[in-house]
Amino acid sequence: MEEILILATSIALLVGAIVEVVKRATLVNDRFLPVVALCVGVLVGAAAVFLDADMTMRMWAGGIAGLMSVGIFETGKNIKEEIDHG
């Protein structure tokens, strides 16, 4: 379990950046961004051959990284809204 979390942490920023590019380049509804992030994460995890893990572990780590990236973005957005509204 610890290995999956370490792998997810190592690719979470890349997944978040790709999801942001997809969001800006297409007309994806914000409601579907967690699903997009999950799919992108799984694909990035599968393609991350530089990580020393088997395919299943990389795909799980990618899915977790996708969900982490959405959570990090939403947390930052909520904090910014709270600061702006006082």
Integer CA distances (angstroms), 64 to 5, 19, 39, 48, 84, in order: 8, 14, 10, 14, 30
pLDDT band at 21 (very low <50, low <70, confident <90, very high): very high
Residue type, 57: M
The pTM for the full model equals 0.82
- Say how many domains are in the chain: 1
Give the range of the structural domain holding residue 77, as residue numbers without chain letter. 2-85
CA distance 8 to 3: 9
Per-residue pLDDT tens digits for 33-60: 899 999 999 999 999 888 788 999 999 9
